[in-house]
């Protein structure tokens, strides 16, 4: 058992909902001079420090005077398992080439695919562990990770095994997603059907057999996979017991949001080019729109219409999209600042989007994402007296302690 006391602000986000939608996103629940009692890795009591119940004399106490306590951040969209880096493409883009032109010339995703295929499982694991440690230093306690840089049966399994082993290792909690439909690899150029068959008939059944992925994601996009191809893949994934995610409407209005809603995907991600019809389809569904403003920032694109999504009553989540091509950063609070300055989200909405709604984007909001009695004790203590400073004083980490499953796992 331990106690956190005297918190200048205890941002508990909750209470007890699947997600917070629309105008509810901005209504953060805050306790001044807050305290939490944690026991057996679970939140046992939440309230004001002056109302703390009697606690045994030898209980460990974390004094959070002058600090803010929040639920651990959740990064619901990353591509952390990769090898190498792509600073050469970064420079080419600065000279005016677009992401799609670079991809058509053999760069982009396929450049990383070549490096991942050459890397051993141990090399990938070491590189991914370093990225997870950086995420932890920014207060991220749960991380979704996609495969999708292997694109052969053996290399996709290798990446998913890296995720499974790092999840065992902890202290983070990882959520594995199979993204075989990330790109058509070079050996299948001119034979899309051949690659689709490989994904549907060989990769997905093998991933299902090994229980290596909770979600199946598809890159539904001009130059990647069409809505019809995406549906074929999601259908097979459902049959094998996986839940769906969709990379939707990133570079063009590809019908990805509508597809996600139709297939009851847990989340539809990116949405830079979402149409009014796409917003309406999401508003009629339980699919969580997940925005990744770090990618728009890094590529110099227009941002997703966060305000319109919130006004449509949707439960917006935010994530990093950490990947070597379009957003090489583990700084999730910087993503929050971009959401504020570029998409006009308010700091309270950003906190909801990085906690409870991000948990909903991973189908985990029953257990994670808010500070409520009975929920898992995933908490961060930040060395600022007001939560808005997390995004206002930008580019650095304000995290002072990270607690995962009731244990302090990171100290600044």
* Residues within the interface to Zn ion (CB under 5 A): 321
* Eight-class DSSP state of 386: S
75/321 with CB nearer Zn ion: 321
d(CA 81, CA 160) in angstroms, rounded, equals 9
110/370 with CB nearer Zn ion: 110
DSSP result, 69-109: EEEPEEE--------S--HHHHHHHHTT--HHHHHHTT-TH
Closest residue to Zn ion, judged by C-beta, is 321
- The conformational region for residue 151 under phi > 0 = left, psi -120 to 50 = alpha, else beta, is left
Q: Compute the least distance from the CB of residue 361 to Zn ion, in Å.
A: 13
Q: Compute the least distance from the CB of residue 79 to Zn ion, in Å.
A: 6
Q: Nearest 5°: phi and psi at 117?
A: -65, -35
156/321 with CB nearer Zn ion: 321
Q: Please give the distance of CA 64 from its chain centroid, rounded to a whole number.
A: 27
Q: Compute the least distance from the CB of residue 322 to Zn ion, in Å.
A: 9
321/378 with CB nearer Zn ion: 321
Helix ranges (DSSP H) in 138-273 = 153-169, 192-197, 204-209, 227-239, 256-262
Show the tokens assigned to 175. 């959520």
Q: Compute the least distance from the CB of residue 286 to Zn ion, in Å.
A: 21
149/391 with CB nearer Zn ion: 149
DSSP result, 244-277: EEEEESSSS--SHHHHHHHTT-SEEEE-TT--HH
Burial bucket for residue 16 (CB in 10 Å: 0-12, 13-18, 19+): exposed
Q: Compute the least distance from the CB of residue 346 to Zn ion, in Å.
A: 25
321/330 with CB nearer Zn ion: 321
d(CA 370, CA 356) in angstroms, rounded, equals 6
Q: Compute the least distance from the CB of residue 107 to Zn ion, in Å.
A: 17
Q: Compute the least distance from the CB of residue 41 to Zn ion, in Å.
A: 31
Q: How many CA atoms lie within 13 A of 383 on its CB side?
A: 10
321/349 with CB nearer Zn ion: 321
b/e code 299-330 from CB counts within 10 Å (16+ = b): bebebbbbeebbebebbbbbbbbbbbbbbbbb
Q: Compute the least distance from the CB of residue 71 to Zn ion, in Å.
A: 23
229/321 with CB nearer Zn ion: 321
79/125 with CB nearer Zn ion: 79
Residue with tokens 């890159």: 219
Q: Compute the least distance from the CB of residue 183 to Zn ion, in Å.
A: 12
173/321 with CB nearer Zn ion: 321
Q: Please give the distance of CA 343 from its chain centroid, rounded to a whole number.
A: 18
Q: Compute the least distance from the CB of residue 43 to Zn ion, in Å.
A: 31
- The CA-atom distances, in angstroms, between 280 and each of 21, 233, 256, 276, 286 are 14, 24, 13, 6, 12
Compute the chain's Rg from CA coordinates.
21
């Amino acid at each position: 058992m331990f106690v956190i006391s005297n918190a200048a602000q205890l941002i508990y986000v909750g209470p007890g909902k699947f997600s917070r939608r629309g105008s509810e996103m901005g209504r953060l629940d805050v306790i001044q001079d807050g305290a939490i009692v944690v026991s057996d890795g679970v939140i046992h009591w939440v309230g004001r420090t002056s109302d703390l119940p009697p606690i045994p004399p030898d209980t460990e106490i974390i004094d959070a005077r002058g600090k803010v306590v929040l639920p651990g951040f959740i990064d619901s969209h990353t591509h952390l398992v990769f090898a190498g880096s792509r600073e050469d493409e970064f420079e080419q883009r600065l000279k005016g080439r677009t992401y799609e032109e670079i991809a058509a010339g053999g760069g982009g995703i396929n450049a990383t695919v070549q490096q991942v295929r050459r890397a051993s499982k141990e090399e990938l694991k070491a590189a991914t562990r370093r990225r997870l440690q950086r995420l932890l230093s920014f207060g991220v306690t749960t991380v979704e990770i996609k495969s999708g840089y292997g694109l052969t049966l053996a290399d996709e399994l290798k990446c998913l095994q890296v995720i499974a082993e790092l999840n065992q290792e902890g202290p983070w909690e990882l959520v594995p997603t199979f993204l075989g439909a990330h790109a058509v690899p070079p050996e299948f150029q001119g034979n899309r059907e051949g690659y689709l068959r490989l994904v549907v008939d060989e990769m997905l059944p093998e991933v299902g057999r090994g229980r290596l992925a909770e979600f199946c994601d598809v890159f539904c996009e001009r130059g990647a996979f069409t809505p019809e191809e995406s549906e074929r893949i999601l259908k097979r994934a459902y049959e094998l017991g996986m839940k769906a995610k969709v990379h939707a409407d990133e570079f063009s209005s590809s019908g990805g949001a509508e597809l996600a809603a139709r297939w009851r995907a847990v989340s539809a991600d990116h949405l830079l080019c979402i149409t009014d019809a796409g917003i309406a389809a999401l508003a009629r569904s339980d699919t969580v729109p997940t925005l990744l403003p770090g990618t728009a920032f890094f590529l110099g694109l227009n941002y997703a219409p966060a305000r319109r999504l919130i006004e449509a009553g949707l439960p917006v989540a935010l994530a990093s999209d950490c990947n070597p091509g379009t957003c090489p950063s583990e700084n999730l609070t910087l993503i929050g600042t971009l959401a504020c300055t570029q998409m006009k989200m308010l700091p309270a909405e950003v906190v909801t989007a990085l906690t409870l709604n991000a948990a909903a984007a991973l189908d985990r909001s029953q257990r994670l994402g808010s500070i409520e009695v009975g929920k898992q004790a995933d908490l961060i203590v930040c060395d600022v007296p007001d939560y808005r400073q997390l995004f206002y004083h930008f580019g650095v980490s304000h995290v002072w302690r990270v607690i995962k499953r009731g244990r302090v796992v990171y100290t600044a």
